[in-house]
Amino acid sequence: MRKALIFLLFQLFSFILFSQDIDFARKIIDTLTSAYFSGRGAVDEGEKKAAYFIAKQYKYLELKKFNDSYFQEFKSPINTFSGELNVRFNNAKLTAGVDYLVNAQSIGIKGTFPLVWYNVDNVPSKKQLKKLANHNFFINKFIVIDTKGAYEDSELFLLQLNLYGATGVVLIEDNKLTHHLSNIYNDYAFIIVKREAINRSFKTLTIEINQKRVRDYQSQNVIGYVEGTEHPDSFIVLSAHYDHLGMMGNEVYFPGANDNASGVAMLLNLAYHYTHKEPPTKTIIFIAFGAEEVGLIGSKYFVNHPTIELNKINFVFNMDLMGTGSKGAMIVNGAIYEKQYAILIAINKKGNYLSSIKKRGKAANSDHYWFSENNVPAFFMYLMGGIKAYHDIDDISKTLPLTKFEDSFRLIRDFVDEL
Ligand SMILES: [Zn+2]
């Protein structure tokens, strides 16, 4: 089965190579979000498989290598959840990803535990909590926290920190479930449950979480370049992270279509353009960053171990969330590099590409960050509008509109040509 799947993927790609633009992008996104890549995280080597897939595309596109390899490897810790994952209140079994998420810093656990409920009608005082904690009341129990209607300085919010030593915490969520990654873990189990999936009549929680912190998890950046025809020693970096949130247990994975298979598709589209259509005047380096989701690890590593001198990089253009665009784009650092922002605005106006391009100041929200912190001018562009899916199981290719993908491609291409 797996062999057949790999064969299919390779077949798929020889076809992808000869088609272009939006079809090309859709196929890349379909491929990277397929179950084979396990959400491009630490579990099942999903991120590594994605790195190999991207390197294979680089090879097809005939991008050049630094130090004879497309890979720049590095290690960093990550807290992971693999294997069995089960959550059952009384006899009601919950569905992972739909009804609940495991908090990124949870520990593993297995057993059946009584529940202790706290909500606005039942806000414990610090004194009460301390007293209960002193009698080991919370050991082998899960606290259920319902903060609906509570003031933000209420003890209910502090209970999330589990200062009173419960074995586990259940937080009731009214908004959409949004997952994250962490490189550390706490000393208690922690799940976030949708309000619809839990009710006050529940007395017990039967739970199994398998957690493991991988101390020296290896990720890699995938780097290739095309030499400039006129100024080969002058560099422009185009980047997009290819990792995502991986798996939560052995059944649920986070596809990450918008975040950031869409950016990788844009990166490969641009690489195709500069290798097969229009050779660039300056050298363009393409970087698919790894380990972005756990804290911008890949880009930090690159900036600390650059394959070329950082001061030779004219500009970095980082792409993350390129799958929508009905509400235009945002340029992080646009408010800092005013000159380049003005160029981008002028190009957009001339080409009539996006409805609006807004600007922000600096933010540590994607891989551009370490560059501008190290005096390398960098933009981070993300598209807005369209879908609500973000860091959840609904960020899938099927519902990703790619509304402004082609116009964004033209915008970035024209901007790079102008630099
Ligand atoms: Zn992202």
pLDDT at 300 over 50: yes
Stretch 125-130: mean pLDDT, rounded? 90
> What is the pLDDT at residue 153?
79
pLDDT at 264 over 60: yes
Residue-level pLDDT at 123 = 87
Average of per-residue pLDDT values in the chain: 94
Q: Binning pLDDT at 50, 70 and 90, where does residue 1 land?
A: very low
In this prediction, residues 129-155 reach a mean pLDDT of 92
Ligand 1 mean position to 156 CA, how many Å? 31
Distance of CA 336 from the midpoint of ligand 1 (Å)? 21
| pLDDT confidence bin for 19, thresholds 50/70/90 | very low
Strands 109-118 and 204-226: antiparallel
Say yes or no to pLDDT of 235 above 60: yes
For residue 337, the CA-to-ligand 1 centroid distance in Å is: 22
How many whole angstroms from 266 Cα to the centroid of ligand 1? 13
Expressed in angstroms and rounded, the spacing between residue 260 Cα and the centre of ligand 1 is: 5
CA of 65 to the centre of ligand 1 (A): 25
**With 0-12 CB in 10 A as exposed, 13-18 as middle and 19+ as buried, what is 36?**
middle
- Give all domains of the chain, ordered by start, each with its CATH number: 12-77+214-418 (3.40.630.10), 91-202 (3.50.30)
pLDDT > 70 in the chain, percent: 95
Ligand 1 centre distance from Cα of residue 389 (Å): 12
Task: Compute, in angstroms, the gap from residue 242 CA to the centroid of ligand 1.
Answer: 8
Kindly give the distance from the C-alpha atom of residue 366 to the centroid of ligand 1, in angstroms, as a whole number: 7
**Residue 98's pLDDT is what?**
97
Cα-to-chain-centroid distance, residue 230: 36
| Secondary structure class of 44 (helix, strand, coil) | helix
Nearest to 338 by CA among 318, 324, 359: 359
Task: Give 362-366's long-range contacts (Cβ < 8 A, gap of 24+).
Answer: 362/332, 362/333, 362/336, 363/332, 364/296, 365/332, 366/241, 366/292, 366/296, 366/318, 366/320, 366/332
pLDDT for res 165? 93
Distance 20 CA to ligand 1 centre (A): 24
**pLDDT score for 403:** 94
Query: What does the pLDDT read at residue 124?
Result: 85
Closest C-alpha to 222, from 71, 76, 73: 71
Dihedral sign of CA atoms 340, 345, 351, 355 in order: positive
- pLDDT tens-digit readout, 171-226: 999 999 999 999 999 999 999 999 999 999 999 999 999 999 999 999 999 999 99
pLDDT beyond 90 at 317:
yes
* pLDDT above 90: percentage of residues in the chain: 89
Distance CA 171, CA 313 (A): 46
Sign of CA dihedral 19, 20, 23, 25: positive
At 400 the pLDDT is 97
- Full-prediction pTM beyond 0.75? yes
Q: What is the pLDDT of residues 39-73, one digit of tens each?
A: 999 999 999 999 999 999 999 999 999 999 999 99
Mean pLDDT to the nearest integer, 106-120: 96
**How big is the chain, counted in residues?**
419
